[in-house]
Structure 1
Amino acid sequence: MANAYSPVRLIVPKRFSDDRGWFMEVYAKPTFAKFGIDCSFVQDNHSLSVPAFTLRGLHFQTPPRGQDKLVRCIRGRIFDVAVDIRKGSPTYGQWVGAELSAENGWHLFIPIGFAHGFVTLEDNCEVIYKCSDTYSPESDGGIRWDDPLIGINWPISASTVPRLSAKDTIQPLLADFDSPFPYDGRPLAPLA
């Protein structure tokens, strides 16, 4: 596990390998609780992004239907990002990101109060993630993926235009967002 104080966590599970392949425990509630991740997951999502540089995000659900997310890539490679959108946070508008891949098996835990997004780094990427609440259209929210105030350093060349949903092309800027998420006293820290 990464920085035990930061609300966003990079999780590097141990793989047990032999000549047949490998085995990895993906999620165990008691193990995660020891590291301060003590939510209950109630929905699993699975996405396929066919073209490389498909960008999904930055998404969240507002209270009372906020979602903690546990994200991993099971095919291909993605750059996964969390942005602090908790009102009053000293790290408000700051982001962290990590490359998740089928090869490395890493997970990113994104708690309520953070916007989430990812870009695929190759064709045919599959991403699965657990959520602590079910999808709620009336609570669905987002921030622009390319908001200059946030300044995410997406691993996309200047000549590449990412593939976006219609919804993601019109998301508001952070400056136009009135956050309903309270700050819990834990500032965002770099991922280890």
Structure 2
Amino acid sequence: MVEVRRLALDGVLEIRPPKFGDARGFFSETYNRQRWAAAGVDLDFVQDNHSFSAAKGTLRGLHYQLPPRAQDKLVRIVKGRIFDVAVDIRKGSPTFACWTGIEISAEAWNQLLVPAGFAHGFVTLEPDTEVIYKVTDTYSPEHDRSIRFDDPRIGIEWPVEAGRVLLSAKDEAAPLLADADVFEFN
């Protein structure tokens, strides 16, 4: 049975699918729409993404897409370990600008569900880390947005020093939350 644990922000979930092992290795259904819907996670995933980060301290995020192309994300690790973060960017939400984070890893076999309306980011805690994530809408450059990973208003406590992270040019140029396009809370 799929284990689902609610984290500090509404809709952000840690999910742990069953894993069956023997002397040969293991088998796991990392996603089964019918079983997951029965556990309360009923989403229509349409695209899978795979990222590889060679160095420990690679930080990707905070990323999201605006409506009507907003994405729910289901993140898992196939190799390595990350600190994964979701930030509520639904203006008017009681938890607007709040964040929650969790370590996910290939060893722990846990996943993170980041709902639409939340920015997502992660930092690698090991070299050669591979992240796979499902999304509920395809990539749309016109709706793609980002927020600074070190925005003091959000105050994420990354487990890597800010001056030691590896960022893309896009993430270095990301605006602060106060200057970003965000969601309206319903």
TM range (shorter): over 0.9
Select 1:37's aligned residue among 34, 41, 45. 41
The answer for the alignment partner of 1:97 in structure 2 is: 101
Deviation sequence 1:146-174 (CA, Å, 0-9, x none): 0011111101146x510000000011111
Distance apart, 1:34 and its partner CA:
2.3
Q: Distance in 2 between matches of 1:87 and 1:36?
A: 25
Q: Distance in 2 between matches of 1:142 and 1:157?
A: 20
- Structure 2 alignment gaps of length 5 or more: none
Higher relative contact order (CA 8 A, sep 6+): 1
Report the secondary structure of 1:105's partner residue.
coil
Report the secondary structure of 1:167's partner residue.
helix
Query: TM-score with structure 2 length normalisation?
Result: 0.92
- In the TM superposition, structure 1's runs of 4+ consecutive aligned residues that sit over 4 Å from their partners are none
Q: Distance in 2 between matches of 1:157 and 1:91?
A: 25
Q: Distance in 1 between matches of 2:35 and 2:10?
A: 17
- The yes-or-no answer on 1:112 pairing with 2:109 is no
Q: Distance in 2 between matches of 1:135 and 1:178?
A: 17
The answer for the alignment partner of 1:183 in structure 2 is: 185
- Whichever structure has more strand as a proportion of its residues is 2
The answer for the alignment partner of 2:150 in structure 1 is: 146
Query: TM-score with structure 1 length normalisation?
Result: 0.90
- The yes-or-no answer on 1:84 pairing with 2:88 is yes
Q: How many residues align?
A: 182
Distance apart, 1:3 and its partner CA:
2.3
Report the secondary structure of 2:90's partner residue.
coil
Distance apart, 1:18 and its partner CA:
1.7
Q: Distance in 2 between matches of 1:17 and 1:95?
A: 35
Q: Distance in 2 between matches of 1:31 and 1:93?
A: 32
Distance apart, 1:24 and its partner CA:
1.3
Q: Distance in 2 between matches of 1:157 and 1:115?
A: 20
**Counterpart residue identity of residue 173, structure 1:** L
Report the secondary structure of 1:175's partner residue.
helix
Identity %: 58
Distance apart, 1:13 and its partner CA:
1.5
Q: Distance in 2 between matches of 1:16 and 1:178?
A: 43
The answer for the alignment partner of 2:28 in structure 1 is: 24
**Counterpart residue identity of residue 16, structure 2:** V
Report the secondary structure of 2:6's partner residue.
coil
**Counterpart residue identity of residue 168, structure 1:** D
Distance apart, 1:38 and its partner CA:
1.6
1:31–1:183 CA distance, 2 compared to 1 (3 A): farther
- Structure 1 alignment gaps of length 5 or more: 185-192
The answer for the alignment partner of 1:51 in structure 2 is: 55
Distance apart, 1:115 and its partner CA:
0.2
**Counterpart residue identity of residue 35, structure 2:** T
**Counterpart residue identity of residue 163, structure 1:** L
How do residues 126-165 of structure 1 correspond to structure 2 at under 5 angstroms?
A: 126-157=130-161, 160-165=163-168
